Amino acid sequence: MSTKFDVIVIGGGPGGYVAAIRAAQMGLKTACIEKWLDKENKPRLGGTCLNVGCIPSKALLDSSHKYHDAKEAYDVHGISVGKVTMDVGTMVDRKDKIVDQLTSGITGLFKANGVTSFEGMGKLLANKKVEFTAHDGTVTTLEAENIILATGSVPVNIPPAPRTGDIIVDNEGALDFREVPKRLGVIGAGVIGLELGSVWARLGSEVVVLEAQDQFLSLCDQDIAKEAGKIFKKQHLDIRVGARVTGSEVKKKGKKEEVEVTFLNAQGEEQKQTFDKLIVAVGRKPFTDGCLAADSGVKLDERGFVFVDEQCRTSVPGVFAIGDIVRGPMLAHKASEEGVMVADIIAGHKAQMNYDCIPSVIYTHPELAWVGKTEQELKAEGIKYKAGKFPFAASGRAMAANDTDGFVKILADEATDRILGCHIIGGHAADLIAQAVIAMEFGSTAEDIALTVFAHPTVSEAVHEAALAVDGHAIHIANRKKR
């Protein structure tokens, strides 16, 4: 087997595998090293995203949403389905099948594109050499003109709630519950906590989410966060902000175990609450353990992220780093686009990424999606802006679908009308946000969207109407601005 390559990628998640495919498409001799083994010790590509992140969580969100709709939302259409039941095992097996299909799909794509796959651990040595340790322990030294580090991230553990068996779990364990926990605790009201909390709440768990920050969804536009807070409350997600977990104790209860969590509430009073399962979802940290030899020359910042410039160059010429191990949002699409950019740069093309136009999504129902600046950021930066807002309650298509929660809000520069941000809470927010991302990528004004023809009836019309509302001209709500 060849040991010399143009490009070696360490890590086969959405950052690494996309970088490897793109590099191979550019005619570069490319290898990718991935260490992941599944529960049966089978090597797997796809990283966190495909194995225990984006895809499996969305599979469970979709299954639980269908169950919830069949139970609660069909009668209004005149459909009666009798007693609705959920076989959690079938739901989890379906999720596993999708993961299998997608991860083996990447193996197929590697073959089709001529990417050499190394199954095991990669370690960057000095002088662009890479030590590869196969799963059977065999060590080989590889070398390449360019190396891309894409080793991703792992969940943050907190001392008051260490992972224990299947009672206190991280996101991985929470994707594999074989029955619905009656009482579910979630530490952290971020994206992962809210998504996984929603899955199990829809299936009947009493869910309590403990969030240490005093403000709910502090990174979101607060208009969206407020609306989401009201809706989640109606969905019986008991979200407690300012709740700092100080301890946990797993106790025996008959043949079963449960966990007692101690926390300080927003008033600083000590409280205790007992759960059948506890999900710790307090964030993720970059993972570089065992990947960098002491003399590799690659520098980390004070939080453990690999230090890179705007084009993902590390402190060592010819060594790049992408995805969750570098600054910026920990998102699969950000990792993939960095992979494409770096592969293009290595192939000799001019490439860059627009970090101001990366969309974020929370896949609850309704979904929350946003891009660009929030109102609070614009205020803090002293930027004068206009806001246009349109509620889904006024959208014919949303009414037809009986899915009228939420709104679209577009923020545009007061002087130039250029779109600075878009914030959506609603049934199809994750897909709708692409319209704002494209508009912002093209430097559009709110008027550009207002002058665009949208198909009727669609929920997309809410984006059109929000753009019209920026100047007080939305048609289907009263929003005239004083002249």
Give catalytic residues, as residue numbers: 456
Find the length of the chain: 483
Indicate whether 304 belongs to the interface with ligand FAD (CB under 6 A): no
Q: Of residues 180, 335, 419, 440, which one binds ligand FAD by CB under 6 A?
A: 335
Structure tokens at 325: 């191990």
H helix or E strand, kind and range, residue 334: helix 332-346
**Does the bond joining 457 to the residue before it have cis omega, within 30 degrees of 0?**
yes
Indicate whether 47 belongs to the interface with ligand FAD (CB under 6 A): yes
Decide whether 290 or 443 has the Cβ nearer to ligand FAD: 290
**Cβ 369 to ligand FAD shortest distance, Å:** 11
**Cβ 207 to ligand FAD shortest distance, Å:** 16
CB atoms within 10 A of CB 133: 17
- The whole-angstrom separation of Cα 394 and Cα 105 is 42
CB 88, CB 178: distance < 8 Å? yes
Q: Of residues 5, 8, 9, 11, which one binds ligand FAD by CB under 6 A?
A: 11
**Cβ 323 to ligand FAD shortest distance, Å:** 2
Q: Of residues 23, 28, 33, 279, which one binds ligand FAD by CB under 6 A?
A: 33
**Cβ 175 to ligand FAD shortest distance, Å:** 7
Alpha carbon 472 to chain centroid distance? 34
Decide whether 8 or 439 has the Cβ nearer to ligand FAD: 8
User: Interface with ligand FAD by CB under 6 A: which range of 1-9, 28-36, 340-348, 449-457?
Assistant: 28-36
**Cβ 431 to ligand FAD shortest distance, Å:** 13
Q: Of residues 287, 377, 431, 476, which one binds ligand FAD by CB under 6 A?
A: 287
**Cβ 17 to ligand FAD shortest distance, Å:** 8
Indicate whether 14 belongs to the interface with ligand FAD (CB under 6 A): yes
Decide whether 246 or 354 has the Cβ nearer to ligand FAD: 354
Rounded to whole angstroms, what are the CA distances from 92 to 56, 61, 89, 180, 287?
9, 11, 5, 11, 27
Compute the C-alpha angle 40/46/51, nearest 5°: 50
| Main-chain dihedrals φ then ψ at residue 8, nearest 5 degrees | -115, 130
Indicate whether 292 belongs to the interface with ligand FAD (CB under 6 A): no
Structure tokens at 98: 């999708």
Query: Site residues for ligand FAD, window 116-175 (CB under 6 A)?
Result: 121-122, 150-153, 171
Burial of 223 (0-12, 13-18, 19+ CB in 10 A): middle
Indicate whether 108 belongs to the interface with ligand FAD (CB under 6 A): no
Burial of 74 (0-12, 13-18, 19+ CB in 10 A): middle
Which parts of this chain interact with ligand FAD (CB under 6 A)? 10-16, 33-36, 47-49, 53-54, 57, 121-122, 150-153, 171, 192, 287, 290-291, 323-324, 330-333, 335, 363
